[in-house]
Chains A and B, each alone.
Chain A
Amino acid sequence: EVQLVESGGGLVQPGGSLRLSCAASGFTFSSYWMHWVRQAPGKGLVWVSRINSDGSSTSYADSVKGRFTISRDNAKNTLYLQMNSLRAEDTAVYYCARESLPENAFDIWGQGTMVTVSS
């Protein structure tokens, strides 16, 4: 079964750090671009970051640039999001998603992991 499973969320104080993981299975992980998308409680979807298939190219939303780092380990079939200098406004459910090519859409999503930034 094709699936993505996130982990690593939790409660962290403002200014703190957290690393999210997304374990992929059921498909050739190293062939796909991967993304992180977040959703604050009761709000809409917001794209956070993207990494290409071999990890050589990344993109970020302005709101997280310089604080978050996306990476991947294709040998472990795992995507990561290192989040530093966390703020209250980073509180959200974080989803990892696979981008299907050439369809250009997010066809597989994880179940999400909740990150709460609060003192």
Chain B
Amino acid sequence: DIQLTQSPSFLSASVGDRVTITCRASQGISSYLAWYQQKPGKAPKLLIYAASTLQSGVPSRFSGSGSGTEFTLTISSLQPEDFATYYCQQLNSYPITFGQGTRLEIK
């Protein structure tokens, strides 16, 4: 199985900050990586697919990059509604796996 390791697991930041979350795969997954945002009690929401393509309707302050084994999700200027948990997901091979999550909290 392909393991995804996100770092950091917890991040404290302020409104307006630029933050970056990293996702490392245990083996190459080309660009078959997606990023999701989840708020408490809600279903995950797709932000980025194919490593760097912004899902329709997602604000442009979100961006993704990477290929192979290392990927990043960047939020250029944090807004109050961005405080949530973020997950990466690989769809290169079965079983599909998710990272353990990065919890982003207000400083």
Number of residues of chain A lying within 8 A (CB) of chain B: 21
Known: A95-B43, A111-B43. A47 touches B96 (CB 8 A): yes
* CB-based contact B34/A61 at 8 Å: no
User: Cβ of A109: which chain B residues have Cβ within 8 Å of it?
Assistant: 43-45
Number of residues of chain B lying within 8 A (CB) of chain A: 24
User: Cβ of A59: which chain B residues have Cβ within 8 Å of it?
Assistant: 94-95
Instruction: Determine the distance from Cα of A8 to Cα of B25 in the docked complex, in whole angstroms.
Output: 35
* CB-based contact B34/A106 at 8 Å: yes
Q: List residues of chain A with CB under 8 Å of any chain B CB.
A: 35, 44-47, 50, 59, 61-62, 95, 99-100, 103-107, 109-112
Q: List residues of chain B with CB under 8 Å of any chain A CB.
A: 32, 34, 36, 38, 42-46, 49-50, 53, 55, 87, 89, 91, 94-101
